[in-house]
Structure 1
Amino acid sequence: MKATVAICTHNRAADVEEALLSLMRQDFAEPFEVIVVDNRSTDHTKQVVQDAGRLTTIPIVYVYEERLGLSVARNRAIREARGDYILFLDDDAVACEGWISGIVSLFESDPRIGCIGGKIEPAWEGEEPNWLLPENRTLYTILDYADEIVEMQKPAMPFGANVSFRMSVFDAMKPFREDLGRVGSNLLSSEETELIDRIRASYTVYYTPYAWVRHKIPRSRISRKWLLRRIYWQGVSKAVSSERKAGLFLKSLLKVPVFALLSVVFFFDRRRIFRNVSKIIYNNGLINGVLRTYN
């Protein structure tokens, strides 16, 4: 079997239904399977998956994973997968019709490709906020890296809403670190970055704009408060995954008062204030991320 599509989910039954329907519309001519890893949901996710399975000849496998955590769920999907390639689709995303075929054909064009990321378009519930700074758009899982198929050069990274791996890479290396990635309501991340950094030691990483997905952004996330929380957890994630924690800790301690002073200097420039507050929050996350690793 060429491809396994993996959807890891927690209490998003309605979104999972839409994601599965998009997989039923794929133009991929070869057999593929779908694995839905239910990460301790308390809604009717299981029923949605079973109902979807009755509508198609595509094998849709329901797997219940009791231990909470996105990385835990992803690793369970990797263990269950039977395809040559595993394609991860977020539970709140829908794939274009050529998604699977675009990913698989790119993998098959070069055995040195170990990981592929695809374009991720935002589906805002409402409108994109006019206060969103360009450098913060990626924090909403928006990815538009290039207009053609290209190798992603470090530090550029695919995002988990649309990322795929050659399964054989896991013969020689461990999958996702389970001390990284979201658990429950926290926004810990960097599990993809850490894994892909290791993959880059032996393989190339590519991007394709043609195998795109549309990722939902609910109204509850379209606020400065949510974005600052996301920025804080980005700092925590960076610190937890870093091997140079002491250096990060000292630099962050020095940066916080500098950005606080700049916020006063640019008091009448709201965009600059938010940018500096964001940097303060991020560095606080770095500091707390270092401290939590020693607790």
Structure 2
Amino acid sequence: MITIKNHINYRKMTNVNEYINLTKALLNRIGTTTFYIQEQDFVSSVTVPFFKQIAQIASDTLLLIEKNSFYNACLLSTSIVESIIQLTWLDVDIKKRSQNYLAFGLIEDLPRIENHPEEYEDTLECLKIIEAEKFLKKNPADKNPLNRKNYINHWYNIDGASGFEAMVKKLNQPYINKVYEMYSILCGFKHFQPFNIVRLFDIKEKKLFENEGQKFIASQITLYSLIEAVNIINKYQDNKIEFLDIMARTTELMKNDLRFPLTPNR
């Protein structure tokens, strides 16, 4: 008989409740702010819905934490990281990239349009308007402008990024670098990696237990990303969200907290 011992010891997580309270305070300020989408304006048409969705994900993550559903909170917080990386990527060249982001929605819709011949003519006209040829692969499968396979896979490929890691490297911003390191941990939850699953089970006692480490990283990355999202949206809206006090306190907290709270002691 083989006896498996659980050698994972969890470090004490500090400040987790303060991260949660700061996130709630920031969400309250967001909730009392009016955002405007200007007519025929690419920037506000992208940044406002993008930001509102990030805020909604942050709110939903807090609800999961309050229900002690820490694993699912970590799962959802991966979306926050993915969204903030893309929002930061947009921010580098906001006018051009917002236009490309909106235009690429039509490219992604081509598989559906393929089954609706009645939409071909209108779609071809729209493809000309958005200058769809800029999204073509170097070696298209054919000359059919309605063939989705002829185009790049993602909207950000046009600016030389193959994926999130490539965007992070090109951005080379301390904040984004840190977020991406935390993202590598969070992805373990999304893919049900054993390293994260086993943390839910006490092998000696043969029972599940609550994992404060998961609560910590979900609350920390949610607040961290929400602050950066506010910082970006404030650039493009007249109604500014006050957040510098929350950012200052969060920075102070993170100086004293573990960088990777889910890493076991060795």
Whether TM-score is above 0.5 comes out as: no
TM normalised by structure 1 equals: 0.27
Structure richer in helix, relative to its length: 2
TM normalised by structure 2 equals: 0.29
Structure richer in strand, relative to its length: 1
Greater relative contact order structure (CA < 8 Å, 6+ sep): 2
